[in-house]
Amino acid sequence: MPVFKIIVNNKVVNIQTMSMRFIPLTICFLLIACSSQKKLDTDAQIIRFDTALYQYLTQNEPDGFLDEYRTFLDEYGEKIIGIGRSDSAGFYSRLREYFSESTLMQLYSDQQVLFSDISALNAELSSGMEILLKQFPELRRSKIYLHVSGWLQNVVVSDEILSLSADKYMGADYSLYPEFFYEYQRQNMLPERVAPDYLLGFLMANFPFRGNAEVLLDRMIYEGKLRYILSRLLPKRKMWEYVGYTGEQHKWCNTHRDRIWKSILDNQHLYRPDYFTTDIYLKDAPTTATLSPDSPGRVGVWIGFQIVVSYMERHPTTDWRTLMNQTDYVAFLKESRFNPKKVR
């Protein structure tokens, strides 16, 4: 499941930190002065920068071959792979040098095969965007790209760009992953996670967290709101997919939901400002450390989703704008009448 670091006007704001073996595995959102002045075209056709760059690298194309991607290329070079803007001296030499490593090029080659046909992805993403923009017609959608970063920044969101690094979605059993990623990380490195992660990135950029980041209740409900909207944008997915769980993980939480909730309350974790403890319930991890060793990670996200679903079932006329603007999380919980004994 994605772990987010948002960069707003070049200032890094950590949302949640993934336990990783080295920094390049961090999945990031680059958020650069997003505007909401222009209305969107709902047709979300992905621009294949990944394919153009692969052709440039493998077929000895001239440097000008990538000129039509100049805006994205600048962000890609400077913010994603860290070699500078495309107009800087020696940029194209550094670009070729970056991709000269044989393992990285094997990854790139495999990615081109796996993502050779993205027509189904385009259709699902376009459908999700169309639903979202009916609720929020004022939002501006950036052009949507696909890139390969060599396991660096994953989702990039700017005023003009929404891009995702396809090399993080090669499949849980992809041969190059085990050396660099833990098993719990790999479970969501799947091609079918691409559309949800595009949409989550767009939602987080346009609806940043408001509340006390140290309070578990605030963070859970915010994460739950995002998953609730995602569930309406991609209605054909399974309930557990919106949280990034497997069916077995979802079943475990359903089976133990009463015990999970009781543990949160008994340990006074729900309302007490404590960023470290709150993060335990929300970060990507093999387990939720405050609970049973059999628990999955991110149980707080799962519970938050359940609370928001319960709220919306009791308030079916609430529109999404009103939902996202509600920041009295104590009142929200009360009005949801969340019942941990009710199995979904």
Residue 344 maps to a domain:
no
What pLDDT was estimated at residue 344?
56
Per-residue pLDDT for the chain (344 aa), expressed as one digit of tens each? Answer: 433 333 333 333 333 322 222 223 333 445 444 443 344 444 578 999 999 999 999 998 999 999 999 999 999 999 899 999 999 999 999 999 999 999 999 999 999 999 999 999 999 999 999 999 999 999 887 799 999 999 886 788 877 789 999 999 999 999 999 999 999 999 999 999 999 999 999 999 999 999 999 999 999 999 999 999 999 999 999 999 999 999 999 999 999 999 999 999 999 999 999 999 999 999 999 999 999 999 999 999 999 999 999 999 999 999 999 999 999 999 999 999 998 876 55
Give yes or no: residues 180 and 235 share one domain. Answer: no
Please give the structure tokens belonging to residue 36. Answer: 């909401």
Residue 309 maps to a domain:
yes
Residue 65 maps to a domain:
yes
Residue 343 maps to a domain:
no
Give yes or no: residues 159 and 256 share one domain. Answer: no
Burial class of 195 by CB neighbour count within 10 A (0 to 12, 13 to 18, 19+): buried
The Cα–Cα gap between 181 and 26 comes to 11
Residue 62 maps to a domain:
yes
The Cα–Cα gap between 258 and 183 comes to 27
Total residue count of the chain as it appears in this document: 344
Single residue among 178, 206, 234 that ends a domain in this structure: 206
Single residue among 206, 226, 244 that ends a domain in this structure: 206
What pLDDT was estimated at residue 343?
56
Residue 157 maps to a domain:
yes
Give yes or no: residues 251 and 152 share one domain. Answer: no
What pLDDT was estimated at residue 37?
38
Give yes or no: residues 90 and 122 share one domain. Answer: yes
Give yes or no: residues 92 and 227 share one domain. Answer: no
Contact 172, 189 (CB under 8 A): yes
Instruction: Identify how many contiguous H helices and E strands the chain contains and give both numbers.
Output: 14, 6
The Cα–Cα gap between 3 and 170 comes to 18
Single residue among 141, 176, 206 that ends a domain in this structure: 206
Closest by CA to 142, choosing from 45, 27, 1, 28, is 45
Bridge-based pairing of strands 5-8 and 143-147 is: unpaired
Strands (DSSP E) contained in the chain are 5-8, 11-14, 29-32, 143-147, 155-158, 161-165
Give yes or no: residues 194 and 220 share one domain. Answer: no
Give yes or no: residues 180 and 220 share one domain. Answer: no
> How many independent structural domains does the chain possess?
2
Closest by CA to 330, choosing from 314, 344, 311, is 311
The Cα–Cα gap between 85 and 74 comes to 5
Collapse the DSSP code of 146 into the 3-class scheme (helix H, G, I; strand E, B; otherwise coil) and give the result.
Answer: strand
What pLDDT was estimated at residue 158?
76
Give yes or no: residues 190 and 254 share one domain. Answer: no
Amino acid at 140: R
The Cα–Cα gap between 34 and 32 comes to 6
Cα Rg for the chain, rounded, in angstroms?
A: 20
The Cα–Cα gap between 189 and 148 comes to 14
Give yes or no: residues 143 and 223 share one domain. Answer: no
Residue 68 maps to a domain:
yes
The Cα–Cα gap between 76 and 277 comes to 35
What pLDDT was estimated at residue 43?
56
Give yes or no: residues 281 and 200 share one domain. Answer: no
Domain span including residue 43: 5-206
Residue 211 maps to a domain:
no
Q: The pTM is what?
A: 0.87
Give yes or no: residues 201 and 114 share one domain. Answer: yes
End-to-end CA distance of the chain: 22
Bridge-based pairing of strands 5-8 and 11-14 is: antiparallel
The Cα–Cα gap between 269 and 22 comes to 30
Please give the structure tokens belonging to residue 156. Answer: 């990039």
Give yes or no: residues 113 and 28 share one domain. Answer: yes
Collapse the DSSP code of 106 into the 3-class scheme (helix H, G, I; strand E, B; otherwise coil) and give the result.
Answer: helix
- Write phi, then psi, for 13 (nearest 5 degrees): -125, 110
